[in-house]
């Protein structure tokens, strides 16, 4: 269901929170020795807050923030109907990207498919740094910058091209070949206007960065960070991949491959001198 439609009970009943978000949240909860209702969790870029509603239903003290009012409004109705304080649970970031929550309020912050939409990552990291408690952590998942097929336009290599006419031309060629999304609001337009609209979206709404650039932005705001996609439990269950990632050289290669070409799972920690989330998980 789209963020453009109100969240319903039916939608929530069939929703499953990403397994890795829950896994790292639980690791963090265990590390801090908190109960579910004591751990303050933030879904950064929450859309209409489906994950927030799911976490609340499962007893976590969860909140969500976003930059789009219509998405936030689409999530508040269900929370309100459940007798929750919808306006404080789902809230807007201000023009400077600041949340209304106090400094250091959150023990765990996650985001799902948000960082690739953020024009000013430094501003976001600064706010995540302000919101994260000392000893707090976060998991941020988003598509890798060299993913062969771009996640939103479903066109090969489109995000490899600079944001110039070359990209516009490539989008038009893809559309002419029948490759690309089919946004209902663009269906009445001709090919050139559709190409322009998809190009505008890719220029204004997508910002892919290398893992190195992302990590150094996080470190500059006081985080310790690591890419953890290769630690996914699915890999441990796979008969071949499991053996591969145990070989020291191949482990680094698997991490590089996943983080550059498939998915970024960035674990951020705000050091407090105690055991890290990764130490507790191993
Ligand atoms: C692809 S949606 C993902 C929504 C939600 N995380 C999910 O998994 O369903 C991206 C979300 O990021 C939000 N977003 C974009 N830029 C943002 C920013 N600078 N700060 C916070 N949220 C942002 C958008 O409004 C949108 O809700």
Q: What is the pLDDT of residue 275?
A: 53
Entry pTM: 0.94
Same domain, yes or no: 75 and 105: yes
Domain match, 94 and 230 both? yes
- Domain with residue 95: its CATH number is 3.40.50.150
Mean of pLDDT values over 96-107: 98
Measuring from each residue's beta carbon to the nearest atom of ligand 1, which residues come in under 6 Å?
3, 44-47, 66-68, 71, 93, 97, 112-114, 117-118, 124
Structure tokens that stand for 23 in this block: 């896994």
Rg (the chain; Cα; Å):
20
Average pLDDT over residues 13-31: 97
Q: Is residue 60 domain-shared with residue 197, that is, in the same domain? A: no
Verify that 167 and 238 share a domain, yes or no: no
Structural domain contains residue 152 = no
Q: Are residues 200 and 216 both part of a single domain?
A: no
Statement to judge: residues 126 and 256 lie in one domain = yes
Six-digit token string for 7: 């969240």
For 39-91, the pLDDT digits (tens) are 999 999 999 999 999 999 999 999 999 999 999 999 999 999 999 999 999 99
Does residue 90 sit in the same domain as residue 175? no
| Residue 244 belongs to a domain | yes
Write down the pLDDT at residue 231.
87
Is residue 252 included in any domain, yes or no?
yes
- Whether the pLDDT of residue 185 is over 90: the answer is yes
Structural domain count, the chain: 2
Ligand 1 pocket: which of 4, 16, 66 to mutate (most atoms <8 Å of CB)? 66
Residues 277 and 176 in one domain: no
Are 227 and 133 in the same domain?
Answer: yes
The reply to whether 228 falls in a domain is yes
**Domain annotation covers residue 4:** no
Is residue 72 exposed (0-12), middle (13-18) or buried (19+ Cβ within 10 Å)?
buried
Residue 150 lies in a domain: no
3-state SS track over the chain: CCCCCCCCHHHHHHCCCCHHHHHHHHHHHHHHCCCCCCCEEEEECCCCCHHHHHHHHCCCEEEEEECCHHHHHHHHHHHHHCCCCHHHHEEECCCCCCCCCCCCCEEEEEEECCHHHCCCHHHHHHHHHHHEEEEEEEEEEEECCCCCECCCCCCECHHHCCCCHHHHHHHHHHHHCCCCCCCHHHCCCCHHHHHHHHHHHHHHHCCCCCHHHHHHHHHHCCCEEEECHHHCHHHHHCCCHHHHCCCHHHHHHHHHHHHHHCEEEEEEECCCCCCCHHHHHC
Residue in 239, 216, 241, 240 with CA at minimum distance from that of residue 230: 241
**In a shared domain, residues 134 and 90:** yes
Assigned domain for 1 exists = no
Q: Please report the pLDDT score of residue 53 as a whole number.
A: 98
Taking the C-alpha atoms of residue 11 and residue 14, their distance in angstroms, rounded to an integer, is 5
Could you tell me if residue 274 is left (phi over 0), alpha (psi between -120 and 50 degrees) or otherwise beta?
beta
What is the average per-residue pLDDT within 247-263?
Answer: 91
Of the residues 168, 190, 205, the one at which a domain ends: 205
CA distance 42 to 112: 11
The count of residues in the chain is 282
Q: Identify the pLDDT of residue 282.
A: 33
Same domain for 217 and 201? Answer: no
* Co-location of 37 and 105 in the same domain: yes
Which residue is closest in CA terms to ligand 1's atom 8?
112
Pair 258, 228: CB distance under 8 Å? no
Q: Which domain holds residue 117?
A: 9-145+208-281
Q: Which of 67, 69, 114 gets mutated to test ligand 1 (max ligand atoms within 8 A of its CB)?
A: 114
Average pLDDT of every residue of the chain = 94
Q: Is residue 219 part of a domain?
A: yes
Q: Which residues contact 228 (CB under 8 A, 6 or more apart)?
A: 139, 265, 266, 267, 278
Nearest CA to ligand 1 atom 18: 118
Give yes or no for residue 281 having a pLDDT over 60: no
Mean pLDDT of all residues in 108-124: 98
State residue 147's pLDDT score.
98
Residue 85 alpha carbon to ligand 1 centre in Å: 21
CB 223 within 8 A of CB 268: yes
């Amino acid at each position: 269901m789209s963020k453009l439609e109100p969240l319903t009970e039916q939608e929530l009943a069939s929703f499953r929170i990403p397994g890795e978000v829950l896994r790292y949240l639980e690791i963090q909860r265990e590390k801090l020795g908190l109960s579910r209702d004591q751990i303050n969790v933030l879904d950064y870029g929450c859309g209409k807050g489906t994950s927030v509603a799911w976490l609340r239903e499962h007893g976590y003290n969860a909140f969500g923030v976003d930059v789009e009012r219509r998405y936030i409004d689409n999530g508040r109705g269900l929370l309100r109907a459940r007798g929750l304080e919808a306006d404080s649970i789902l809230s807007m970031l201000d023009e400077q990207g600041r949340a209304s929550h106090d400094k250091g309020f959150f023990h765990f912050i996650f985001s799902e498919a948000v960082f690739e939409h953020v024009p000013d990552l430094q501003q976001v990291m600064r706010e995540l740094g302000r919101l994260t408690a000392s000893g707090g952590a976060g998991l941020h998942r988003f598509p890798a910058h060299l993913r062969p097929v771009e996640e939103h336009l479903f066109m090969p290599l489109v995000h490899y091209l600079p944001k110039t006419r070359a990209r516009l031309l490539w989008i038009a060629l893809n559309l002419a070949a029948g490759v690309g999304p089919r946004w209902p609001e663009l269906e009445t337009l001709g090919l050139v206007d559709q190409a322009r609209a998809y190009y505008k979206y890719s220029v204004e709404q997508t910002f892919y960065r290398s893992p190195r650039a992302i990590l150094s932005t996080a470190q500059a705001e006081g985080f310790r960070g690591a890419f953890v996609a290769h630690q996914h439990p699915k890999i441990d269950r796979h008969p071949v991949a499991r053996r591969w990632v145990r070989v020291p050289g191949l482990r680094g290669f698997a991490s590089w491959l996943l983080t550059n070409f498939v998915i970024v799972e960035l674990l951020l920690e705000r050091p407090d001198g105690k055991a890290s989330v990764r130490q507790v998980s191993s």
